[in-house]
A and B are shown apart, each in its own frame.
Chain A
Amino acid sequence: MNSTALIAEDEPLLAQALKAELAAAWPGLQVLATAGDGRSAVREALRLLPQVLFFDIRMPGLDGLGAAAELADRWPADEAPMPQLVFVTAYDEYAARAFETQAIDYVLKPVQPERLRKTVLRLQQALAAQQQAKPAPAAAADEALERTLAQWRQVLAAAAGNGASASPAASTAPLKMIAASEAGGSTVRMVPIGEVLYFEAADKYIRVLTATHEYLIRTPLKQLLAQLDPETFWQVHRAVVVRSSAIEAVHRDEAGKLHLDLRGRTEKIPVSRLYGHLFRAM
C-alpha cells in the first residue's frame, strides 16, 4: 500500500537529501511536496492531506512547532486522519531527549539511514493501526483522532518547553504585576495579574484583557507563559491564554469548533483542537 508524505525544510540540499534517504528506506512512500517555510507547509498539507509530515523545527515565517499547532486546528479530520508528525532538527539536544520518550518521532540531521529506518518502521506501524480503525464506527475514529492529538500535544509541549528553558531571559518567578501600555496611548499602566481575564497574541503584541480595559505588551507568548501559574492560566489556543476561573461556558458550533464564554467579557474565545481535552465533560 502506498503512503504519502510532505517535507517541510528550508535548506534545499537537506530537503533533497531527506527525500533521497526516504526513497531508499521506504520505497512505498510518495513525497507529495517539499515546502521551504512554515506557512507554505501548512498550505500544502491542507491541500494534499498527506499521511506523514516531516517538519524542520527551524524554518522562516512560521517554525515547525507553530506550523504543527496551526495544522492541528485546521486539519479536516472528517476527510482524512490526522497525519503522523516527525520533527527534523539539526541540533536540539533537549528537544531530542524529550522526543525519545514520545510516541511520535524526530530525526536528527544529517539523517542517518539506520535511524531513519527505525522511524519508518514506527510510522508504518502507526499508519497500519490507523488503517484498521478506519472502517470502525465513528467513536473509534474519534478515539484515534484524540490519540494522535494527545501525541502532538506532548511533542509540541516538549519542544516548546525546551525553547523556553534555553533562553536565559525567561524567568520562572510568577508574575504579579504587568507593565503594559494602553492601547493607542503612550502611558504605561501597572496591571495587577489578578485583573487579567485573558491574553491574546496578535502579530508582534500580546493583548492583555481585563473586564473593562485592553492593554498591550511586547513579550513573546512563550516567555509570558513561563511566568504564569499554569493552574490559574490555561492555554486554550496557540495564541490565547485564559484565566481558568473566568471561564463560564464552553460551546460547540456547527463546524464542531469549541468556543469559550468568559465572565466579564462578551467576545467568544476560540479553543484549539489541541486543547479541547480540557473541556471534555466529566
Chain B
Amino acid sequence: MSVEALPRFRAENVRGMLRHGLITVVFCCFIAAALAITQHGDWGAQMVYSLSIGLISWLFIDVGRLLISGHREILWPSSGPWGYLLVAGGVTVGFLGGNAIGDAWTHQPLLDFGSFTERKLATTIIITVTATVCMCFFFYSLGRSKHMRRQIDLAQRNATEARLKLLETQLEPHMLFNTLANLRVLITADPPRAVAMLDRLNNYLRMTLSGSRALAHPLSAEFERLADYLELMSVRMGERLRYTLDLPDELRGTPVPPLLLQPLVENSIRHGLEPKVEGGQIAVRARKDAGRLVIEVSDTGVGLDAAQTSEGSGFGLEQVRERLATVYGDQGRMNLAAGPSGGTLATLSFPLPPRP
C-alpha cells in the first residue's frame, strides 16, 4: 500500500489518537483520585502530576507509533525492539516531564527526587510504568481487533464475489438465452423433446443455484448434472457435440464437492469445441488408481494453444484449483495437458475417502 493511500495523519488516525487521549485523561483522573485518597494528599497536585505524566506519555507514544508505522494497517511498530523502545521512551519522557510540570505547579524544587521517600518514588514509578504499559496494550489490542474485523469483512466480501462470479459463468446469458431459444423451437416442433429438454434445464438450474452451498454430493449426482448440461448443449450444437460419461459402479457413492467438474466440461465446450467448425467429442472418465480417485475430462477441440488466445478462460480453472485445495489440501491435484489426439486433457485426482 502506498504512502498516499494511507497518510500518517489522515483524519481517521487523528480521531483514533484523540480518542486514546480522552481515555488516558479519564484513566489519569482515576489514578489521581486513588492516590489522593490513599495518601491523603492534595487533590489538585495529584491531578496535575497524574494528567501531565499521562498526557505526555500518550502524546509521545501515539505520535511515535504513527511516525514509525503510519503506512500499515495495524498502527503499531511490528518488528524489532521499536514497540518496546517506544513504550520505554514514553514512560521516561512522561515521568520526567510530568513530574517537572507537577513540581512547577506545587512550587517544589524541580525534579528533586532526593527529597522523596524511597517508597513514594517507587510507587510513582510503578504506577507510571504499569499504567502506561496497560494503556498501550489496551490501545494495541483495540487497533488489532479493528484490523482483524476489517480483514474478516474483506475475506467475506471476496468469498461472496467469487460465488457470484461462479454463478455468473454458469448462468452465462448466451448459454441461457440460446437454450431458451432452442426450447421455444422444440415446443412447437417436437413437444416430447421439449419436455425432456425443459427437465434437463430445470435440473441444471437447480443445481447451479443451490449446489454451491452444499459441501459434498455423490459422484453419481455430479455425473448426472454433467449429463444434464451436456444434453442441453448437444440439443443446441446438434451433431457438432458428442459425449461419453464413464463412471464405474464402485465409485458412484464417492463424495465430491458439487459442480467440481462443471467448469472443466464448460471449458472444453467453450474453448475447445465451440471454436472448432466440425465440433468434436468430450469424454469424462472416473477411475480408481492406488487409493486415489482420478477423473479425466478430455476433448477433441482446438487444443490448449489456440484456447489460450481466446478470451475469458482462466476463471473456471482457478475455481477448480481453489476448491481442490480447500477440500483436499496438498492431496488434490489438477493437471492440464494437450490431449493424445489433439484437444485438451484435464486430469483431477484426490484421495478416496476410507470406506465406512
Interface string of A32-62 (1 = CB under 8 A from B): 0000110110000000000000000010110
Stretch at the interface among B1-9, B32-40, B234-242, B291-299: B234-242
Q: Verify B277–A39 contact, CB threshold 8 A.
A: yes
Q: Is B186 an interface residue (CB 8 A)?
A: yes
Identify which of A12, A36, A169, A204 contacts B309 (C-beta below 8 A). A204
User: From residue B50, how far is it (CB to closest CB) to chain A in Å?
Assistant: 58
CB within 8 Å for A13 and B177 given contacts A60-B275, A220-B311 = no
Q: Is A91 an interface residue (CB 8 A)?
A: yes
Interface string of B122-133 (1 = CB under 8 A from A): 000000000000
Residue of B178, B186, B236 with most partner-chain A CB within 10 A? B178
User: From residue A40, how far is it (CB to closest CB) to chain B in Å?
Assistant: 8
Identify which of A61, A90, A111, A220 contacts B178 (C-beta below 8 A). A90
Q: Is B174 an interface residue (CB 8 A)?
A: yes
Task: Give A1-33 interface residues, CB cut-off 8 Å to B.
Answer: 10-14, 16-17
Interface string of B271-299 (1 = CB under 8 A from A): 00011110100000000000000000000
Q: Verify A204–B306 contact, CB threshold 8 A.
A: yes
User: From residue B155, how far is it (CB to closest CB) to chain A in Å?
Assistant: 22
Q: Verify B181–A110 contact, CB threshold 8 A.
A: yes
CB within 8 Å for A90 and B185 given contacts A11-B236, A11-B238, A13-B236 = no
Identify which of B235, B277, B306, B311 contacts A13 (C-beta below 8 A). B235
Q: Is A109 an interface residue (CB 8 A)?
A: yes
Residues on the B chain within 8 Å of A36, using CB: 240, 277
CB within 8 Å for A60 and B185 given contacts A10-B237, A13-B238, A220-B309 = no
Q: Is B180 an interface residue (CB 8 A)?
A: yes
Residues on the B chain within 8 Å of A37, using CB: 277
CB within 8 Å for A14 and B182 given contacts A60-B274, A60-B277, A61-B277 = yes
User: From residue A190, how far is it (CB to closest CB) to chain B in Å?
Assistant: 22
Residues on the A chain within 8 Å of B279, using CB: 60
A-B contacts, 10 of them at CB < 8 A, read A11-B237, A14-B178, A16-B185, A17-B185, A60-B275, A61-B275, A91-B173, A91-B174, A109-B177, A169-B311
Across the A-B interface, the 9 shortest Cβ-Cβ residue pairs: A110-B181, A12-B238, A90-B177, A91-B173, A17-B185, A109-B181, A110-B184, A91-B177, A61-B277
